[in-house]
């Protein structure tokens, strides 16, 4: 199969899909479902079948449209049109279905009482590459993905490019790992590719565990085929024939949709043996995490896939050299894989033109906490924090003042008002004492107590410590105890000094990233809000 054949296939699917001018898209991702999207979908579908719609239309369940706080979201748009080009309705209930269906008639006015302006900064200022299909295609439909241009990058790579060409494009793109570390993806791929031929593995890390982060869940729930396509391209580039997706069991919907996607892709010959009639074989299996944050660490993740205890081991040897069952293994995050197809289709140089000097492309962020527009956004690297929080996020509700934004989860830190004009990229966040992390952003208003914030994250790290190394196991426990005492105003100045010393020891001596970064929330709140600690000392 070449690109022309794929185009023919997409045309055939389009013809089969029937003729309709508009489609009514209902967000069926986890957040909208939790606010009641399923009854809305059922009511709209039933209404459409009964002929309540004025024009030929189709009701389609789609993935995340981003503005989760306004869910359930419904969009009325032309088939395959961008989200902003359609009419977006917010807080829809099943009772609104007839009105929405009536508005699809040619010339009919939109339902103004439910309308959410599609030119608002939340939608207009985003730049969607990873989330290109989110909220537009049906995540359960293989055909929908192909009609949206899916698998073209994989077919192009398999039929027109060598493995080295693919790696060159990824290297040229400047893409860095989206799981948090920011390791250059092209470099990682080329090291695994350079290992002698033999059994190699590709792993997708979908064990997203940071409090307040839901980027990977949304990507998997909205566009699972995009991730599979990225993994298949990676496998082709490094010479692997087997892939694992390690996804946490707390994401049942994402798991369900991934399973469906894998099944349908296999049945259509886009996964499995002789993919698209080439010599390339690639099979994907899902492994479920059992609720351990540390299993997001690559060596612990591999131990867990192998059936062992989810505990990290010292590196080197790195997975590229000695990974799953001792074989060279490529391990990337969900969002990293979701960037691959556009890079291969449109070229590494195109991608490198987006973002900042050292951080290319876009980044998906999950906005949470006290912010008006809670949800999922994708912006260029280098966008200022102020724009993300106040323009796109809509600022702080109830007229309260902004205090800090927490990025990077339990490994990150808090950024205060004074640094909001910092462009968001890997390196500038590091200078602020925090990190990009996987992309969770928790916004806090003036009522937040920073000692409590530090205590919350330390409790998280303490609970999630695997218990293997001493500094992380016993150190987080002691630090949590000290923070508890400070929060209760029972601590002395010596306790604060001990806390700072423990931060140093745990950071410097822990075995894996979880322990090494566990003190970050304390260190960053001490850096910017030291007075809040000192006020509580006896």
Partner 1 sequence: MPIRAQQPDVSVVTLTIDGQDLSARADETIIEVCRENKIPIPSLCWMDGLSVVGACRLCVVEVDGGPRLQAACATRVREGMSVQTNTDKLQRYRRTLVELLFAERNHVCAVCVSNGHCELQWLAQTCGVDHVRMPYRNTGYNVDSSHEMFRIDHNRCVLCTRCVRVCDEIEGAHTWDVMGRGSGCQVVTDLAKPWGESDSCTSCGKCVQVCPTGALVKQGTSVGEMVKDQQFLSILARRRSSR
Q: Which of 26, 63, 209 is nearest to 140 (CA)?
A: 63
- CB-side exposure of 205: number of CA atoms within 13 Å? 25
Q: Does residue 473 belong to the site contacting partner 1 (CB under 8 A)?
A: yes
Distance separating the N- and C-terminal Cα atoms of the chain: 74
Report, in Å, the least distance between residue 352 CB and partner 1: 30
CA 226 to CA 345: how far, in whole Å?
Answer: 13
Strand 57-62 versus strand 22-27 pairing type: parallel
Q: Does residue 505 belong to the site contacting partner 1 (CB under 8 A)?
A: yes
CA 376 to CA 69: how far, in whole Å?
Answer: 10
Options 222, 332, 406, 465; binder of partner 1; rule CB under 8 A: 465
3-state helix/strand/coil string of 215-250: HHHHHHHHCHHHHHHHHHHHHHHHCCCEEEEEEECC
Options 463, 490, 534, 535; binder of partner 1; rule CB under 8 A: 463
Quickly tell me which residue has 């092209």 as its tokens. Answer: 186
Q: Does residue 511 belong to the site contacting partner 1 (CB under 8 A)?
A: yes
Piece in contact with partner 1 (CB under 8 A), picked from 59-67, 389-397, 501-509, 522-530:
501-509
Q: Does residue 470 belong to the site contacting partner 1 (CB under 8 A)?
A: yes
Quickly tell me which residue has 């045309």 as its tokens. Answer: 11
Report, in Å, the least distance between residue 307 CB and partner 1: 13
CA 360 to CA 352: how far, in whole Å?
Answer: 5
Report, in Å, the least distance between residue 498 CB and partner 1: 6
Q: Which of 274, 318, 226 is nearest to 512 (CA)?
A: 318
User: At how many degrees (to 10) do helices 334-346 and 215-222 cross?
Assistant: 60
Piece in contact with partner 1 (CB under 8 A), picked from 41-49, 64-72, 198-206, 475-483:
475-483
Piece in contact with partner 1 (CB under 8 A), picked from 24-32, 106-114, 252-260, 309-317:
309-317
**With respect to partner 1, which residue has the nearer C-beta, 229 or 495?**
495
Piece in contact with partner 1 (CB under 8 A), picked from 54-62, 201-209, 500-508, 526-534:
500-508
* Coil, helix or strand at residue 43: helix
Q: Does residue 430 belong to the site contacting partner 1 (CB under 8 A)?
A: no
Count other C-beta atoms under 10 Å from residue 310's C-beta: 23
Q: Does residue 481 belong to the site contacting partner 1 (CB under 8 A)?
A: yes
Q: Does residue 5 belong to the site contacting partner 1 (CB under 8 A)?
A: no
Piece in contact with partner 1 (CB under 8 A), picked from 102-110, 250-258, 372-380, 496-504:
496-504
Piece in contact with partner 1 (CB under 8 A), picked from 101-109, 431-439, 443-451, 463-471:
463-471
Options 227, 462, 496, 526; binder of partner 1; rule CB under 8 A: 462
**With respect to partner 1, which residue has the nearer C-beta, 18 or 316?**
316
Q: Does residue 469 belong to the site contacting partner 1 (CB under 8 A)?
A: yes
**With respect to partner 1, which residue has the nearer C-beta, 434 or 476?**
476
CA 415 to CA 419: how far, in whole Å?
Answer: 6
**Total interface residues for partner 1 by CB under 8 A:** 30
Options 421, 501, 534, 535; binder of partner 1; rule CB under 8 A: 501
Options 47, 471, 519, 521; binder of partner 1; rule CB under 8 A: 471
| One-character DSSP codes across 491-533 | --HHHHHHHHHHHHHHHHH-SSHHHHHTTHHHHHHHHHHHHHH
Report, in Å, the least distance between residue 86 CB and partner 1: 47
| One-character DSSP codes across 129-178 | STTTTTTTS-TT-HHHHHHTTTTHHHHHHHHH--HHHHHHHHHHHT-B-T
Binding mask 277-306 for partner 1 (x = CB under 8 A): ---------------x-x------------
Q: Does residue 477 belong to the site contacting partner 1 (CB under 8 A)?
A: yes
**With respect to partner 1, which residue has the nearer C-beta, 442 or 466?**
466
Options 309, 488, 493, 530; binder of partner 1; rule CB under 8 A: 309
Q: Does residue 361 belong to the site contacting partner 1 (CB under 8 A)?
A: no
**With respect to partner 1, which residue has the nearer C-beta, 353 or 467?**
467
Quickly tell me which residue has 């920011």 as its tokens. Answer: 182
The CA-based angle 408-413-414, given to 5 degrees, is 115
Options 31, 304, 476, 524; binder of partner 1; rule CB under 8 A: 476
Q: Which H or E run contains 7?
A: helix 3-16
Secondary-structure breakdown of the chain: helix, strand, coil percentages, each rounded to the nearest 5: 50, 15, 35
Options 466, 483, 491, 496; binder of partner 1; rule CB under 8 A: 466
- Positions in the binding site for partner 1 (CB under 8 A): 292, 294, 309, 313-314, 462-471, 473-478, 481, 498, 501-502, 505, 508-511
């Amino acid at each position: 199969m070449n690109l022309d054949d794929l185009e023919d296939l997409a045309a055939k699917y389009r013809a089969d899909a029937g003729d309709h001018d508009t489609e009514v898209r209902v967000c069926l991702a986890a957040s909208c479902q939790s606010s009641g999207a399923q009854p809305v979908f059922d009511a709209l579908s039933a209404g459409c079948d009964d002929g309540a719609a004025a024009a030929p239309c189709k009701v389609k369940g789609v993935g995340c449209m981003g503005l989760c706080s306004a869910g359930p979201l419904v969009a009325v748009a032309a088939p395959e049109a961008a989200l902003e080009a359609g009419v977006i309705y917010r807080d829809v209930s099943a009772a609104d279905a007839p009105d929405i269906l009536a508005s699809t008639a040619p010339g009919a006015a939109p339902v103004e009482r439910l309308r959410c302006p599609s030119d608002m900064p939340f939608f207009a200022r985003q730049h969607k590459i990873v989330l290109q299909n989110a909220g537009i295609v049906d995540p359960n439909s293989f055909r929908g993905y192909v009609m949206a241009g899916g698998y073209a990058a994989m077919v192009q790579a398999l039929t027109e490019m060598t493995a080295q060409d693919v790696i060159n494009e990824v290297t040229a793109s400047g893409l860095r790992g989206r799981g948090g570390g920011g390791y250059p993806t092209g470099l990682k791929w080329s090291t695994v590719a350079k290992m002698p031929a033999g059994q190699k593995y590709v792993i997708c890390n979908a064990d997203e565990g940071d409090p307040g982060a839901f980027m990977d869940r949304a990507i998997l729930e909205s566009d699972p085929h995009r991730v599979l396509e990225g993994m298949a391209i990676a496998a082709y580039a490094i010479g692997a024939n087997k892939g694992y997706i390690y996804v946490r069991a707390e994401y049942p919907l994402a798991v369900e949709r991934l399973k469906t996607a894998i099944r349908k892709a296999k049945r259509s010959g886009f996964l499995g043996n002789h993919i698209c009639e080439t010599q390339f074989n690639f099979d994907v299996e899902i492994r479920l995490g059992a609720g351990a944050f540390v299993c997001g660490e690559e060596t612990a993740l591999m131990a867990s896939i192998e059936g062992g205890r989810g505990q990290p081991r010292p590196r080197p040897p790195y997975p590229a050299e000695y990974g799953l069952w001792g074989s060279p293994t490529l391990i990337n995050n969900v969002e990293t894989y979701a960037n691959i197809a556009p890079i291969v289709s449109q070229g590494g140089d195109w991608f490198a033109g987006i973002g900042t000097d050292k951080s290319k492309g876009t980044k998906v962020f999950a906005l949470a906490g006290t912010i008006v527009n809670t949800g999922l956004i994708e912006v260029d690297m280098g966008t200022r924090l102020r724009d993300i929080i106040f323009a796109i996020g809509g600022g702080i509700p109830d007229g309260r003042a902004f205090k800090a934004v927490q990025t990077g989860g339990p490994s990150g830190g808090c950024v205060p008002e004074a640094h909001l004009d910092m462009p968001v990229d890997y390196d500038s966040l590091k200078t602020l004492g925090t990190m990009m992390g996987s992309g969770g952003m928790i916004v806090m208003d003036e009522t937040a107590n920073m000692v409590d914030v530090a205590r919350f994250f330390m409790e998280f790290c303490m609970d999630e410590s695997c218990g293997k190394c001493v500094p992380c196991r016993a150190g987080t426990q002691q630090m949590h105890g000290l923070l508890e005492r400070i929060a209760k105003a029972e601590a002395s100045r010596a306790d604060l000094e001990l806390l700072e010393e423990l931060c140093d020891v745990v950071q410097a001596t822990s075995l894996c990233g979880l322990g090494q970064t566990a003190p970050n929330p304390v260190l960053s709140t001490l850096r910017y809000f030291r007075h809040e600690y000192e006020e509580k000392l006896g």
